[in-house]
Amino acid sequence: MRIGVDVGGTFTDITLSTENGLVTAKTPTTEDQTVGVVRGIEKVCDAEGVEASEVEGTVHATTVGVNALLEGEGARTAVVTTEGFGDVPEIRRQTRDELYDLCAERAPPVVPSERRFEVDERATVDGTERRVDEEEIRDLPLDGIESVAVCYLHSYAHPENEEETARVLRDEFDGHVSVSSDVLAEFREYERASTTAIDAYVTPVVSGYLRRLNERLGEIGVPEPRVMSSNGGVKSPERVAETAVDTVMSGPAGGVVGASTYGDRVVSFDMGGTSTDVGLVRDGVERTTGTVVEGAHIGVPSVDVTTVGAGGGSIARTDDGGALRVGPDSAGSEPGPACYGRGGERPTVTDADVLLGYVRDGKGLGDEITVDADAAREALSALDGFDDVTEAALGVRRVADEKTARAVRSVTVERGYDPSEFVLVGFGGAGPGHAASVAGSLGIERVVVPRPAGVLSAYGILCADEKAEASRTLTEGEGVEEVLRKLEDEARDGVGEGCLVRRYADIRYTGQGTELTVRVGRPFDTDEAREAFEEEHATRYGYTMEEEVRVVSVRAEAVVERTPPATGGNNGGAEVDVRDAVFSEGVYETAFYDGVPEGTVETPAVVEYGEATAVVPPGWNARVEGGDLYMEAEG
C-alpha cells in the first residue's frame, strides 16, 4: 500500500493505493501542514480498515516552498556575488508584464540589497582570472543570516571560486549554502542568480517542514515520504534538503502527471476553487526550463502549467462599462460561495452551477456545508444587466468557461497544435462540471473525467517516476557528447542503478535569443539534433531557416519508471433521478446519478463523484468504464 498526499491552499488530498483500488479523502489544510497530512492519512487508513503502520511508502507534494515565496516567509538569506554584479537580481530583464504602464511596480527580489555582498573575484568563459580571497569570505557580515546563496560570474563554466567560497562558508557558517554551479550550471546571470537565491530562501523552510513531517509520520509508523518535484518526478528528502527550489511547483505537476495516464495527447484541465491550471501532454508531459512566481524567475525544469484566475469560488461582477467579469478575486473557503451558507454574499461560479441545477439544493458537502439554492439566487440577482437570475447564471458560467478556454488555447493553438487532436481530462473540484463546455468551444470532441477527479493531483503523485536531472551550458570548443556523458553519470547518481537515461539539448539558430529543448540521441548526432529542432521550430513558429544552429546547453534525465496504480472498480448501481437543469441550449430533463454508474449514461447527465460533480451537456454521449467517465461529442 502506498499513499499520495497533495497539500493545497484549502484542502489536503489523500489517495491510498491498495490491491482493491484507490481510497480517497480530503481534509482541511492546517496552518502547520503536518497536522492535516497526518489526519488525512489516518482518515484513509480508517476507511480501508488498515493500520497506518501497514503503509509501505508515501509520496508528497507540498506548498511550503511556494507559500514561503508568496508570503515572504523564507529563510533570512544573503547573496555572495562577483564585485559589480550585486544588483543583477534588481535589474532583471528588459521584458515587462505591463509594457505601457509607466508606474508598474515589480515585486522586490527575495534578498534585499543590504544582504547582497560583492567580493573581489573574477572568471570568464575562458578561465578563472582572479581567485577568491578566503579571508574576504570569512569577514562577511553574516550575523543573523540563516542561508547563503553563492553566485559568481561565469561559474557555470568555471566553478572553482564558488566551490572555494562554499567550502569556507560551510566551515565558518552554521546555515544552509546554495551554490549556483550546483543549482543551475547554465548561462544567463539573472536567471541563475534568481534561482540560486530562491533555493537558498526556501530550502531551510522546506527541509525543516519535512523533518517535522517525518517525525509525525514516524509516530504512526508511516515511512519517510518521497517528495514531488516541479519536473513531474519524485526524489528523496535528502536531495530536497540540499536543493528545494525544484519543489516550488510540485502540486500542479502532480495533476498533469495524473492526467497523462489517460493518453499520449492530453490537455489537463484542473479547475479548483480559485484558479484553473492547464497543462499539455504530447508524447510525455510538456515541460519548461523557466517558471515565474510572484515576479521571481526559477530556472529549473518544471511541468509547463498555465494558470488563470477562474475557479468555482471566483466572484462575478459587472464592471463600470456594464461587462460581466469573473475572477480573479475569489470567495475562498471562508466565507466561500453564497450557496455554502457561511456568510458569503457575492455571486460565484459555484452559485451559478447551483442555480442552473447542476448541484442540487440541500446537497451536503462534507460535514459542515449544505447547499442553499436560495442564497445562490439572492447573490446572483444582485448582478446588473440581466433580465432574470437564470440569464445571469448562464452568463457567469459562459464567462468562466471562456476564460479557462483561453488558457487551453495558450497551450495548444498558440503553440501550433490543433486542440481537436487532444483529449481533455477534467479534474479538480470544479473541472468535471465545466470540462465538456470548455472542450466544445475549442473543437475538442473527447473528454475524460477520471474516477479520482477530485484528488487527481494526489493520484498523479503516486504515478510519478523517480527522477534526477543535470544540465550545463556548453563553452567554446567543448564536445557535446563528452559533456552529455558526464551529465548522465551525475543524473544516475541521483536515482541509482536500473534507471532509464534521456538526453536533451537546448538549441537555437545563430543570432536567436531563446532556445528550444529537444530530445537527442546517444551518441549525439548533429544532423539528427538539427532535424528535431527544426521540426519543433516549425510547429511552434510556422517556419524554419537556413541559418546555422547552435547547441547552447545540454541536459540528462535519469528515470526509474513506475507503473500507475489502478484507480479501482466502480460503485455500480448508482441511484438515478431525473430533474430539470438549465443549459445554454435550454431547459432539459437531466439524469442525476448519485454515485458512479457503469456502462452507458443517459444524457444530458450529472454524475456525482465523491469529491467532484461531472456535467454531461446536451450534444454529448457518455459511458463509464471502471469508474472513469468518457464523453464524446455527437456527430
pLDDT beyond 60 at 569: no
What pLDDT sits at residue 497?
Answer: 80
Contacts of residue 151, defined as CB under 8 A and 6 or more positions apart, other chains included, come to 79, 80, 81, 162, 180, 189, 192, 193, 196, 197
Q: Which three cell numbers stand for residue 383?
A: 448582478
Contact 371, 331 (CB under 8 A): no
Mind spelling out the 3-state secondary structure of 147-162? Answer: EEEEECCCCCCCCHHH
Q: In terms of DSSP H, where are the helices of 466-603?
A: 480-495, 526-541
Q: How far is CA 177 from CA 78, 122, 190, in A?
A: 10, 20, 19
CA proximity to 78, closest of 168, 173, 160: 173
Mean pLDDT of the chain: 92
Confidence of residue 101 (pLDDT cuts 50, 70, 90): confident
Q: What is the pLDDT of residue 571?
A: 53
Among 152, 72, 92, CA closest to 117 = 152
Q: Is the CB of residue 516 less than 8 Å from the CB of residue 149?
A: no
**What pTM value is reported for the model?**
0.89
Distance, in Å, from the CA atom of 161 to the CA atom of 153, rounded to the nearest integer, reads 10
C-alpha–C-alpha distance, residues 23 and 366, integer Å? 16
In angstroms, rounded to a whole number, what is the distance separating the alpha carbons of residues 255 and 455? 9
Q: Point out the least confidently predicted range of 240-254, 288-302, 356-370.
A: 356-370
Residue 309: is its pLDDT beyond 50? yes
For the segment 211-227, the average pLDDT, to the nearest whole number, is: 94
Per-residue pLDDT averaged across 105-109, rounded?
A: 86
* Three-class SS state of 204: helix
Angle between helices 389-411 and 373-380 (to 10 degrees): 80
Domains and CATH numbers, the chain: 1-247 (no CATH), 263-449+622-635 (3.30.420), 466-560 (no CATH)
pLDDT at res. 100: 85
Q: How many CA atoms lie within 13 A of 94 on its CB side?
A: 0
Q: At 118, list the grid cell.
A: 560583492
Residues 22, 567: Cα–Cα separation, whole Å: 5
Handedness of CA 471, 475, 478, 479 (dihedral sign): positive
Per-residue pLDDT tens digits for 504-563: 999 999 999 999 999 999 999 999 999 999 999 999 999 999 999 999 999 999 999 988
Where are the extended beta strands (E) located within 41-140?
57-61, 77-82, 116-119, 122-124, 127-130
Give the pLDDT confidence of 413-422 residue by residue, as tens digits: 999 899 999 9
> Cis (ω within 30 of 0) for the bond into 252?
no
Identity (one letter) of the amino acid at 493?
Answer: D
302 Cβ contact partners less than 8 Å away, ≥ 6 residues apart: 230, 231, 246, 249, 253, 287, 288, 289, 290, 291
428: left (phi over 0), alpha (psi -120 to 50) or beta: left
Give the cell for residue 418: 490543433
Q: pLDDT tens, 584-635?
A: 999 999 999 988 888 999 999 999 987 889 999 999 999 999 889 999 999 7
What values do phi and psi take at 203, rounded to 5? -60, -45
Is residue 199 within 8 A of residue 75, CB to CB? The reply is no
The per-residue pLDDT for range 423-470, each reduced to its tens digit, is 999 999 899 999 999 999 999 999 999 999 989 999 999 999 999 999
List the helix and strand counts (H, then E) for the chain: 16, 36
* Predicted local confidence at residue 332, as pLDDT: 74
CA 57 to CA 12: how far, in whole Å? 18
> Is the CB of residue 92 less than 8 Å from the CB of residue 190?
yes
State the pLDDT at residue 611: 81
| Distance of alpha carbon 515 from alpha carbon 532, whole angstroms | 13
Beta bridge partners of 277: 270, 307
Q: Contact at 8 Å (CB) between 59 and 455?
A: no
Rg over alpha carbons for the chain, rounded to the nearest Å, is 26
**Residue 340 DSSP class:** G
Report the pLDDT value the prediction gives residue 409, as an integer from 0 to 100. 95
- Whole-number percent of the chain with pLDDT over 70: 98
pLDDT tens, position by position, 268-280? 999 988 889 999 9
What integer is the mean pLDDT of 85-112? 86
The cell 477562474 sits on which residue? Answer: 310
Strongest mean pLDDT among 19-23, 107-111, 198-202, 248-252: 198-202
Stated as kind and residue range, the H or E segment containing 438 is helix 431-442
3-class secondary structure, 621: strand
User: Using CA atoms in the order 89, 91, 92, 98, what is the torsion angle rounded to 10 degrees?
Assistant: 130
Angstrom distances, CA of residue 226 to CA of 58, 285, 420, 467, 536:
6, 20, 37, 11, 34
Query: How many whole angstroms separate alpha carbon 239 and alpha carbon 592?
Result: 48
Q: Is pLDDT at 490 greater than 90 in this prediction? A: yes
Residue 327 neighbours by CB under 8 Å, 6+ apart: 275, 308, 309, 310, 311, 314, 315, 400, 403
- pLDDT at res. 570: 46
pLDDT at 573 over 80: no
Q: Which residues contact 81 (CB under 8 A, 6 or more apart)?
A: 88, 116, 117, 118, 119, 150, 151, 152, 153, 193
